[in-house]
A and B are shown apart, each in its own frame.
Chain A
Amino acid sequence: MEVKLNKIPALTWNWLRMNEAAISDVPVLSEGTLLGQFPDEVRAERRPGAKLSFRTGMGTAVDEMIQKSGAEIVSVYSDQKVTEPVYLRFSYQGGAADANAFELHAEENSELTVVMHFSSDRKAGGNACVQTRYHVGKNAKITLIQIQTLGDEFTFYNDIGGEADENGSFCLIQMILGGKHTYLGSFSELSGRKSSLTADIAYRLAGTDTLDMNYVADHIGQKTRCGILASGVLRGSSQKLFRGTIDFHRGCAGAKGDESEDVLLMDDNVQNQTIPIILCDEEDVEGNHGATIGQLDENLMFYLQSRGIEEEAVREMMARARLDAVCAKIEDEKTREIVQAYLDEENQI
C-alpha cells in the first residue's frame, strides 16, 4: 500500500520535499493486542468503529490503515477528576503489523490521564500504527503521554486528532526513543473559548533512523492558547523533519500561539529539516516561533570544559538533558521511571 501522510496546511516549494511524506511499502495492518489498566472511575468500551471524526495530523490515509481495527473508547464522566492514569501497554512481537484506534472523552469538568507505552525487543522489526481521537469537554483536561521504545527495525505511525471545548485543555507529551522510522501527526482544533494545547515532544535518533512530524494547532475560539515545543538529538545519519503549524482563524481574537524547537546535531551526516508555519487570518493575535539548530553554545562548552568535563561528556550530558527536560513534565512517577531506566540502559550499551 502506498500512502501520503503529514501534509502541511500551507504548501511550499516542492523541491524542499517537506510538503508531505510519501511511503510506498505500508503493509496491510490487523488489529493489535494491548494490555490495559483502567482506574475504576474510567469507562472503557470497545466499538466496531470510531464515533469521532475529527481531522488528524497525519491525514485520512491513517483511517484506511486502521480500518480493520475496532476502536477502544475511554471516557471519564462529568466532574470526575481521575488522578490515576490509564495505562495502555503495547508489546509488539517481531514482524508485527498491528493497528489500534482509540477515542478519549473527557466530559465537562473532568480530568483524564492516559499513558501509552509502545515497546518491543531491541532488535525487533515490524509495523505499528496507533490513531487517537479525543474530545475535551468544557473545563476538562486530557493528558496523553506516549513513550516509544520500539526495536531498531520498527516503523511506527502515531496519529492524533481532536477538539477542545471552552476552557478545555489537551496536554500531549511524546518521547520517541526507539524505532527505525517514526511518523507523528497531531491536529488540535481549539474551538472553545480559552481552550488550550500544550505539546512537548522529545526525540533521540541515531544510525539511519528517521522521524517525520506534523503538528497543527487550529485556533478557532477566542483567547485560545497553544505551545508546541520539540527538542531532540540527531546522531549518525539520522533524519528528522518537523512541521509545525499555528493557524489563527478569523474570530479567534486574543489567541496566542508559540512554537519552539531546539535540535542538537551530534554527527556530520545528520539531516535536520524544519518548517514552522504561522497562518494568520485574525488581527488580534500573537504568534511566535523560535528555533535553535546546531551545536552547543560556545560559552556553555567553555564553562563546562573549564570545570574539567571532557567535550564528549559535555555533549552527551546536554543531549540527555533535552530528553530529561521533557521527561520531568510527566507527572506519573512510574512512567518517569520507565523512561529513565530505558535511557540509563541505552547509555550502557
Chain B
Amino acid sequence: MKEKTQVADIDRSMYDFRYEENDAYRVEEGLTPEIVDQISTEKKDPDWMREFRQESLKIYNRMEMPDWGPDISGLNMDNIVTYIRPNTDRMHAKWEEVPDDIKNTFERLGIPQAERQSLAGVGAQYDSELVYHNVKKEVAEQGVVYTDLESALHGEHAEMIRKHFMKLVPPTDHKFAALHGAVWSGGSFVYVPPGVSVEIPLQSYFRLNAPGAGQFEHTLILVDEGAYLHFIEGCSAPKYNVANLHAGCVELYVGKNATLRYSTIENWSKNMYNLNTKRAKVEEGGKVEWISGSFGSHVSYLYPMSVLAGRGARAEFSGVTFAGHGQNLDTGTKVVHNAPNTSSYVNTRSISKDGGISTFRSAVVIGKNAKGSKSAVSCQSLMVDDISRSDTIPAMDIRTKDADVGHEAKIGRISDETVFYLMSRGLSEEDARALIVSGFADNVGKELPLEYAVEMNNLIRLEMKGSIG
C-alpha cells in the first residue's frame, strides 16, 4: 500500500542551523535617536551620514505603516535589535582569518566553494557587518571595485557614495526606507569602469544569525558606460520563534549602454519580515535584468523597481514566488518609463501551497515623454491545493498615445491530465507535481547560472515534499 506523506514543515536543515550568539557589540532593542547615534559612533560615520540617519529617523516616526499589503502588525520595532557586530574586529580578505563559527556557517551554505568554482568575487555579511570580502585579482586589475560600503564611505570613493547613497530610494519613499536610512549597516559597493565586462558574477551573501535582530544592509552598484556585470545576492537565516526583520536597500545605477543583471535567491527563515527595497536607474541604451526567486520569509513586501531614464533603456524582470505554510509573500515589480523608446518585459510565476498566500503586484507607468515605448507583462499563478491563496494586482498608467502596452494574467491549478501522464511514465504523484512546478518556474531557473538554478530547483523540491496527503 502506498504510504501517504504528511504536509510537514520542509527540511530546511541546510539553512536552519544556528550558532550560539557570540557577538562583540549590540545596541539595545528598539529605535530611538540615542540608538541611532550609537550606530553612527560604532561605524565612525562622517558628519553628513550621522545627520542623515537622524533625519531618516524623524521621517520614519512621521510616516504611516502601509495600509495596502499583508499584515505586519506582528512586527514590533521595540523588540528588534537594529545593530549587532559579530565577534570579529574587522572585515577579512582570507577565509582562514574569519572566526570559526562564522566561517563554518558560510561553508555549510557553500559560499567558499561557490567562490572557487564560479564567482569573480564574494562578500559575506553576518548579522550587521560584512565579515569577508574578496575579489579576484584579474577582476580588480580591470579597475572593478568590490568592497564593503563602510570602507567605501571612508576611502577614496567617499564622494561617489555621498553622491549616490539613498538618492534613488530616498528615506521619504516609504516607512521602511526611512528605517533603513536611520539604521543601515553593512552591504556592498561595486563600481565597474566604462567598457569593462565582468564575465563571471560577483556575489554577496547575507546571513542573519541572531534572534529578534534586524538586517539593514545597503547595496550600491554603479555600472559605468558600456560595462557589464552580473551580481548575485543570496540570503538565509535560521528560524526562531521571534520576529526578525530585513529592511535592506539596493540602489543600482546602470550607465549609458551598460547592462546589469541582478539575481536574487531569497530564502529567509519563516519568521522573517522581509521589507526590502530595490531600485535601478537606467540611462540611454542601458539595460537592467532582474532575476528574482522568493522562497522564504513569513511576510514579504518586495517590488524591484526600474526607472528607465534614458532613450532606449530597457528593463526585464523574471520572478518566481513560492508561498508555503505560514507565508504571505507580496512580490512583483514596478517600471517607470521616463524617456522615449524605452521597453520593459515582466514575466512572473507565483505558486501557492499548504495555506500560503502569494500576491503578484505590479505597476507600469509610461510618462508623457516616453513616446515609442513598449511594455509587456505576463503573470501566471498556480494553486497547488485548495487551502492556499493567490492574488494578482497589476496596475498600468499610460500617459502618451504613442505607447504599446500588453498585459496578460492567468491563474489556475496543476492539470490532472499532466499529472496522470507523468505518473503513467513511472513518476510518483509527488515527483510529478514537483516536476510540473519546477517547469512552471523555469522562467527564472533558465536565467540563473547552473549552480543557482540547481539550488532553486532543490528549494522547489523541498517545498513540494509532502504535498500529497
Contacts and interface: CB of A to CB of B under 8 A. Distances in A.
B398 interface: yes
A10 interface: yes
Contacts of A280: 381, 383, 389-391, 411
A284 B413 CA distance: 6
Contact of A270 (B68, B399, B409): B399
Nearest to B173: A15
Interface stretch (B78-86, B288-296, B321-329, B400-408): B400-408
A290 B407 CA distance: 5
B399 A267 contact: no
Contacts of B386: 250, 282-284
A283 B395 contact: no
B392 A293 contact: no
A311 B258 CA distance: 38
Interface in B394-427: 394-413
A278 B411 contact: yes
Nearest to A240: B398
Contacts of A269: 368
Interface string B361-397: 1010000100000000000010111101111111111
A291 B391 contact: no
Contacts of B404: 293-295
Contacts of B408: 288-291
Contacts of A91: none
A348 to B, nearest CB: 24
B406 A265 contact: no
B67 interface: yes
Contact of A11 (B68, B400, B402, B406): B68
A293 B402 contact: no
Given A13-B68, A14-B68, A270-B399, A276 B412 contact: no
B391 A272 contact: no
B411 A285 contact: yes
A265 B388 CA distance: 39
Contacts of B395: 12-13, 16, 18, 273-275
Chain B interface bracket (under 10, 10 to 19, 20 to 34, 35 or more)? 35 or more
A288 to B, nearest CB: 5
A281 interface: yes
B406 A291 contact: yes
Contact of B401 (A14, A18, A266, A282): A266
Contact of B389 (A11, A281, A286, A287): A281
A107 B398 CA distance: 44
Interface string A230-270: 00000000000000000010100000000000000111111
Contacts of B68: 11-14, 19
Chain A interface bracket (under 10, 10 to 19, 20 to 34, 35 or more)? 35 or more
B413 A289 contact: no
Given A265-B403, A267-B401, A295-B402, A274 B396 contact: yes
A78 interface: no
B390 A271 contact: no
Nearest to B350: A280
A277 interface: yes
Interface string B185-226: 000000000000000000000000000000000000000000
A171 to B, nearest CB: 24
B54 to A, nearest CB: 26
A201 B394 CA distance: 20
Contacts of B381: 278, 280
A37 B121 CA distance: 80
A292 interface: yes
Contact of B409 (A10, A273, A276): A276
Interface string B261-300: 0000000000000000000000000000000000000000
Contact of B412 (A271, A286, A292, A295): A286
A287 B411 contact: yes
Contacts of B402: 268, 294-295
A292 B400 CA distance: 14
B256 to A, nearest CB: 27
B391 A294 contact: no
| B368, B385, B390: most-surrounded residue (chain A CB, <10 A) | B390
A283 B388 contact: yes
B409 A287 contact: yes
| B68, B390, B393, B407: most-surrounded residue (chain A CB, <10 A) | B393
Given A14-B68, A295-B402, A283 B411 contact: no
Contacts of B406: 290-293
B401 A270 contact: yes
Nearest to B404: A294
Contacts of A268: 368, 400-402
A287 B368 contact: no
A266 B401 CA distance: 6
Interface string A78-116: 000000000000000000000000000000000000000
Contacts of B403: 265, 293-295
Contacts of A270: 399-401
A292 B388 CA distance: 30
Contacts of A292: 405-406
A20 to B, nearest CB: 12
Given A293-B396, A294-B404, A295-B401, A16 B363 contact: yes
A293 B398 contact: yes
B417 to A, nearest CB: 14
A279 interface: yes
Contacts of A273: 395-398
| A265, A267, A295: most-surrounded residue (chain B CB, <10 A) | A265
A73 B233 CA distance: 63
Interface string A316-329: 00000000000000
Contacts of A278: 381, 391-392, 409, 411
Interface of A: 10-14, 16, 18-19, 248, 250, 265-295
Pick the 4 closest A-B CB pairs, nearest first.
Answer: A11-B68, A265-B401, A287-B411, A291-B407
18 contacts: A11-B68, A12-B363, A16-B363, A18-B397, A272-B397, A272-B399, A275-B395, A277-B391, A278-B392, A284-B386, A285-B411, A287-B411, A288-B409, A289-B409, A289-B410, A291-B406, A293-B404, A295-B404
